[in-house]
């Protein structure tokens, strides 16, 4: 395994010229749910990662205890690692499914968000993750995505989210933080960019999850180009899409084994967000998350599913389809999920992702590094 210790900064390697650091998801890193934040930081560092992204501040300290959060911050600093965190779901129709957000404000969700933002600001976490809804594992067809809820339309959910972002805006502005919305499974990158633009990119940004937008039938190159000007955090992951009887089966893969072109992604980000941290979101171990792995099938023959992507152009959909079937033709038999995906398998996969992303990062950095100018 390569050594990715932080490069000491010298007059020849100023911060602006250092390649971005590569970290890992602090909720899904194998063993994280059992070991706690300090253990996760130590083991991630030992595995070669340069930072940890804890999904929410409540994952770090359920009570938002200032001392506990400060100790985690200091531990990351001692290890020379970056530390990132987040908030929660900002869609009011989704917040009832995360009661900890209401509890953080003693019943007042807006106050709960304020307390989380304040806690993040105190420990220097000024880039904070958020998302619009959750993934509804176990349901068939389009109902795994809240985009297709039948009690409230997706248009109404987006409108409610926009209003809530407007209420969060003065809090984030006052505390000097950015709230960054993930390219989550249910939202298109078109819709996400529109939300950020409407709410104000001086306060709001994007967490670029590289695999999720393929569930919205988007070509990875086009997604990267659309979101790049707004990206402030990342969740790097890869996927395959395999034709099956009911549509296209979506499976996570180690980075470099699937459909995402990380060369394009990192080269694009090098132009718009050269210092952004590169966080790998690995497939979780079933030892940490017991039960069968979620199975997601894109029901592309379902008119309501396909018709919900009104911003998607015919040319991009054609490119997406070509990518999927070209990849499938190179792997003609649909691979079944492994019989076991435990700690060892998850660690092997996340190490493979780290190796691939590191290689691509270094190639992009070499290609974009300014040439030395003779004195």
Task: Give CA–CA dist 10/147, Å, rounded.
Answer: 49
pLDDT of res. 9: 45
Residue 370 — pLDDT band, cuts 50, 70, 90?
low
Average pLDDT over residues 289-314: 92
Kind of pairing, strands 22-25 and 238-244?
unpaired
Task: Give CA–CA dist 90/101, Å, rounded.
Answer: 10
Angstrom distances, CA of residue 85 to CA of 16, 127, 161, 331: 23, 7, 20, 37
Q: For residue 331, how many other CB atoms are within 10 A of its CB?
A: 11
From 260, 254, 280, select the one nearest 338 (Cα to Cα).
254
From 120, 61, 111, select the one nearest 87 (Cα to Cα).
120
3-class secondary-structure state, position 170: helix
Residue 336 — pLDDT band, cuts 50, 70, 90?
low
- Checking if the pLDDT of 11 tops 50, the result is no
Average pLDDT over residues 335-343: 74
pLDDT of res. 8: 40
Residue 369 — pLDDT band, cuts 50, 70, 90?
confident
Higher-pLDDT residue of 200, 294 = 200
pLDDT of res. 248: 96
Q: Where are the beta strands (DSSP E) in the chain?
A: 22-25, 51-53, 82-89, 127-131, 178-182, 204-209, 231-235, 238-244, 247-253, 278-280, 296-298
What's the pLDDT tens digit per position in 102-154?
A: 999 999 999 999 999 999 999 999 999 999 999 998 898 999 999 999 999 99
pLDDT of res. 291: 82
Q: What is the CA radius of gyration of the chain?
A: 20
The secondary structure of 119-161 as a DSSP string is HHHHTT--EEEEES--B-TT--GGGGBGGG-SSS-HHHHHHHH
Contact 224, 213 (CB under 8 A): no
Q: How many residues does the chain have?
A: 375
Across the chain, mean pLDDT equals 92
Contact 248, 345 (CB under 8 A): no
Backbone angles phi, psi at 308, to 5 degrees: -80, -5
pTM score of the predicted model: 0.93
Residue carrying the six token digits 């992204």: 53
Contact 305, 142 (CB under 8 A): yes
- Checking if the pLDDT of 328 tops 60, the result is yes
- Checking if the pLDDT of 1 tops 50, the result is no
What's the pLDDT tens digit per position in 204-221?
A: 999 999 999 999 999 999
Residue 337 — pLDDT band, cuts 50, 70, 90?
low
Average pLDDT over residues 22-37: 95
CA 130 from chain centre, in angstroms, equals 10
- Checking if the pLDDT of 196 tops 50, the result is yes
What's the pLDDT tens digit per position in 266-286?
A: 999 999 999 999 999 999 999
Structure tokens at 303: 């008119």
pLDDT of res. 140: 84
């Amino acid at each position: 395994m390569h050594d990715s210790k932080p490069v000491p900064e010298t007059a020849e390697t100023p911060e602006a010229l250092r390649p971005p650091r590569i970290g890992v998801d602090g909720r899904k890193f194998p063993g994280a749910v059992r070991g706690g934040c300090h253990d996760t930081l130590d083991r991630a560092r030992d595995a070669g990662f340069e930072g940890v992204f804890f999904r929410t501040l409540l994952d770090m300290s359920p009570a938002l205890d200032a001392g506990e959060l400060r100790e985690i911050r200091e531990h990351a600093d001692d290890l020379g690692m970056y530390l990132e965190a987040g908030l929660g779901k900002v869609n009011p129709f989704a917040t009832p499914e995360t009661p900890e957000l209401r509890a953080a404000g003693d019943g007042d969700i807006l106050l709960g968000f304020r307390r989380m933002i304040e806690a993040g600001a105190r420990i220097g976490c000024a880039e904070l993750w958020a998302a619009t809804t959750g993934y509804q594992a176990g349901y068939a067809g389009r109902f795994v995505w809240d985009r297709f809820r039948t009690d409230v339309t997706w248009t109404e959910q987006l409108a409610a989210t926009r209003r809530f972002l407007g209420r969060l805006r003065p809090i984030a502005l006052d505390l000097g933080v950015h709230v960054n919305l993930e390219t989550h499974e249910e939202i298109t990158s078109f819709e996400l960019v529109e939300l950020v633009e409407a709410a104000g990119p001086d306060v709001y940004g994007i967490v670029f999850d590289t695999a999720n937008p393929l569930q919205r039938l988007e070509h990875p190159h086009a997604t990267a180009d659309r979101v790049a000007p707004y990206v402030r955090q990342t969740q790097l992951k890869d996927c395959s899409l395999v034709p099956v009887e009911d549509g296209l089966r979506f499976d996570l893969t180690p980075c470099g084994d699937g459909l995402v072109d990380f060369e394009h992604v990192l080269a694009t980000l090098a132009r718009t967000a050269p210092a952004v941290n590169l966080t790998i979101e690995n497939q979780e171990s079933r030892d940490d998350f017991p039960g069968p792995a979620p199975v997601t099938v894109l029901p592309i023959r379902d008119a309501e599913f396909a018709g919900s992507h009104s911003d998607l152009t015919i040319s991009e959909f054609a490119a997406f389809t070509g990518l999927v079937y070209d990849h499938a033709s190179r792997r003609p038999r649909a691979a079944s999920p492994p019989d076991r995906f435990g700690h060892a398998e998850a660690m092997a996969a996340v190490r493979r992702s780290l190796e691939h992303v590191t290689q691509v990062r270094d190639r992009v950095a070499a290609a974009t590094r300014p040439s030395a100018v003779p004195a």
